[in-house]
Amino acid sequence: METTSKEDPFLSHFETLIDEIEINNKASKTTIELSSSSLGTCQFTSSSSTKSPILPCPVNTLDSFAIKKSLLSSIESSGSQLTPLQLDFFSLIHNYHDMYYPNRTNTNDVGEQLRFVICLHLINHVLKTRARILSHNAKLKENPDLDYHDQGFTRPKVLIIVPFRESVRRIIDCFENLLLNTDDSEKTDQIQISHRKRFQEEYGGGEIDKQNNDGKFQRTSDEYNEIFAGNIDDHFRLGISVTRKSLKFFQSVYKSDFLIVSPVGLRTLLEKRRQKRKHKESSDNSGSDDDDNDNNKNSTDNNSSSIADFLSSIECVYIDQLDVLSMQNLDHLFYILENLNTIPQQATSKIDFSRIRHWSLNGWARLYRQLIVVSSFTSPLFLSLFHRFSTNYFGQCLIQPYFPLNGYIRPLSTFHQLFQRIPVCDPTLRFNYFIENILPRFDTSTYDHTLIYLSSYFDFVRLRNYMRTEKHKQFNYLTLSEYSTKKQVLLARNIFYHREVRFLLMTERFHFYHRYRIKGIRHILFYDLPSYGNFYPEIVHFLTLPHVEEKKTTVTTTTTTRTNQTVEPSTCTALYAKEDALKLAYVLGQSAVTDLLTSDKNTHLFTNK
């Protein structure tokens, strides 16, 4: 059995009992700036007692890290050489610092490079945990008086949150490559993989149909194909147990080392457990008096520490493709993170309290939990999530975002593009400002066929409901959202192209998932800027698509009869507030942001002249 040195970050992190004074002394935190050519600028924040990392990574091989020999052997036998990005990234997470990386790209292998070293770190963590427990078990058999604290309340140690089943398949590929030594056939034969066929059936397949791309925008682009390759079902949860010689899929949550889930998949399980516990409590209390019922209801209230007890001892959380997760439902993700590391209210017979770590008994598990977040872009919401749940006493590494030098507007100078600063950012105030100051300007016959792009579904619903009220029935509009059926999409596109329609309301998620080429658009109005910077040129590109030739026709709607007027040249208008600085940087480039936010002018026109 391998021995571990005290230089091992695994030991120095998890076997150190931090001082309660240090926990409460937030003022002792300091921030330093590090940089490397591969990672860019990194802000490292920690308590004064935490040793700062070094960038660039001072070593160029994995031998210098405290990695299990079996894993090193597998990597060496595969002939893989880590890139500078992988070495720098691994050097930070190997030391159990929290990590926020917002520069994952979907058009090259950056995402795969990071996924490999993160999987290496997580498997290394689980194998070390297991080896340490087995070593202590053997010593306790020889001397029962020894005292070891090496466990948590439950077995699961790593929680991986990803958007699609294809993401799970790629993670499992990394696991297998790390656990299988391809140079040693005898060892390979000894590795046991349970339920492999079932895994392939449930997590494989689902390739994009490239022959059926009618009406889609750049359906064969690398960016789209990378995101939506393989099985894109978003409702799953998979428990995995790992040893040096086995990989077992579809384990129960209490027998798993890894839990790989989608947000909605795990949220569904937690809700099922909540309902089951609620039903059980109701049955148990059916014969009690009213006072007892009230007390029991208040004491349990479907207690999160009971329904999520299998998440009580999670030590590493890996959130991949946070940008894609934001196109699903981030409420589920927040709910999951809020329920991590709570002390179980009910002890099971399998818990050996004599082996539980002191900091876990103290309720400090969240302070030892490592959080790794990877995304393709950053946003105030993403940063808020990271800062809220990054509670690791070992420090946080915040990689600064990379912005395109000139953004995405320079190649699109054929059309006049107006950026208009508005004085409000609060969603309600923004909506009120929009309907009072912006919408009336576009509600004229010269601005027929205007696309209104909304990044938030809630803003979309609010504007749609406003237009459909009896008071504002004069609005002639169509809608496209992520909840539109194929039949509704086909009908809306057909009507919008062939008839006189004032507005087409479209959500960002609709474009994210479908990438339809919307023909007939003459004007574009961005209610707010897209979350993905590259969506801006994709939407503006719609202005270059064909539209029906203007005719002198009279069109009768449910409430109005209007005659086509002379149509304005195609235009694009984007609204922004000072809180949209990050979105502006992705669209225009960082150098233009300061000018647009501090200028005395509220409008800025980009043209080809």
Name the more confident of 363 and 7: 363
Mean pLDDT over residues 11-25, rounded? 83
pLDDT band at 529 (very low <50, low <70, confident <90, very high): very high
Contact 93, 66 (CB under 8 A): no
pLDDT tens for 166-206 read 999 999 999 999 988 655 444 444 578 999 999 999 999 76
- Position 7 scores a pLDDT of 81
Please state, for a pLDDT cut of 70, what percent of the chain lies above it: 86
List, in sequence order, the alpha helices (H) in 106-259.
Answer: 110-142, 165-179, 185-190, 196-203, 222-228
pLDDT band at 292 (very low <50, low <70, confident <90, very high): very low
Q: Which amino acid makes up residue 242? A: V
* Whole-prediction pTM: 0.91
**Angle at the Cα of 487 (from 485 to 491), degrees rounded to 5?**
120
Task: Burial-class residue 133 by CB neighbours within 10 Å (0-12, 13-18, 19+).
Answer: middle
Of 47-61, 425-439, 517-531, the one with minimum mean pLDDT is 47-61
Mean pLDDT over residues 234-247, rounded? 92
Which CATH number does the domain 410-606 belong to among 3.40.50.300, 3.30.70.260, 2.170.130.10, 3.40.50.1100?
A: 3.40.50.300
Token readout for 161 is: 């949150």
- Position 557 scores a pLDDT of 42
pLDDT value at 464 more than 60: yes
- Position 546 scores a pLDDT of 80
Residues of the chain with CATH 3.40.50.300: 9-206+221-285+296-399, 410-606
- Position 411 scores a pLDDT of 63
**Angle at the Cα of 120 (from 97 to 322), degrees rounded to 5?**
60
**Angle at the Cα of 166 (from 161 to 170), degrees rounded to 5?**
80
The CATH class of 9-206+221-285+296-399 is: alpha beta
pLDDT tens for 321-369 read 999 999 999 999 999 999 999 998 877 667 888 999 999 999 999 999 9
pLDDT value at 2 more than 90: no
How are the residues of the chain apportioned to helix, strand and coil, as percentages rounded to the nearest 5? 45, 15, 40
CA distance 91 to 136: 28
Site of tokens 């960002």: 508
Token readout for 221 is: 């682009």
